[in-house]
Amino acid sequence: MIREHPSTTRAVLGAAGIAALLLAGPELAGAQDPAREGSLDAASASDLPPIPLTEAQEARARDLEGRLKCPVCRSQSIRSSRSFMAEDMQRKVREMVAQGSSDEEIVEYFVDRFGPYILLTPPRRGFNLTAYLIPFLAVVAGGVGVLWAAHRWRRTGPPSPPPPPSPESPYHARLERELEESR
């Protein structure tokens, strides 16, 4: 009887599960539940008519879209991401701006659903404060290090003179003599 390693079994079952989801289609592969709050029906945000905004509202919406991180791309704002999730989030931001919600309310709405991870810029409080302080402290420490090194170099003074030549060896006189004879 052949014994299989448990991690091999899990890997095979995991791969089979992913393949089944991909083959099953959108019904099982993560289609959104229309009953969920804030979700769009089967249509994506790009298929829906645009939300009319004034110039000031458009500027606010663009600013807010630049401050929120795309949960799919992780390193892009929802403004620059082209994922469906980012498009849905852009639409929700524009809806809330059109309804008259404040910037703080809109940001709080997304932070409540995704956590502070959704913000591109971490808030300046708590442990996140270290992200703002470490670069400043590194520059200060580097400056102190350069000043300390310059002080040490200045304090040492000019280099010492070379040591006096060593007494001549008996071979030196013989070498000189042989060189003169060869000329």
Q: What are the tens digits of pLDDT across the range 103-152?
A: 999 999 999 999 888 988 877 778 878 888 899 999 999 999 999 998 88
Q: What is the pTM of this model?
A: 0.51
DSSP one-letter code for 70: P
48 contacts 54 by C-beta, under 8 angstroms: no
Q: Which residues of the chain have pLDDT under 70?
A: 1-46, 165, 167
Q: What DSSP assignment string belongs to 90-135?
A: HHHHHHHHHHT--HHHHHHHHHHHH-GGGBSS--SSGGGHHHHHHH
Q: From 57, 80, 56, select the one nearest 69 (Cα to Cα).
A: 80
The answer to whether the beta carbons of residues 118 and 68 sit under 8 Å apart is yes
DSSP annotation of 138: H
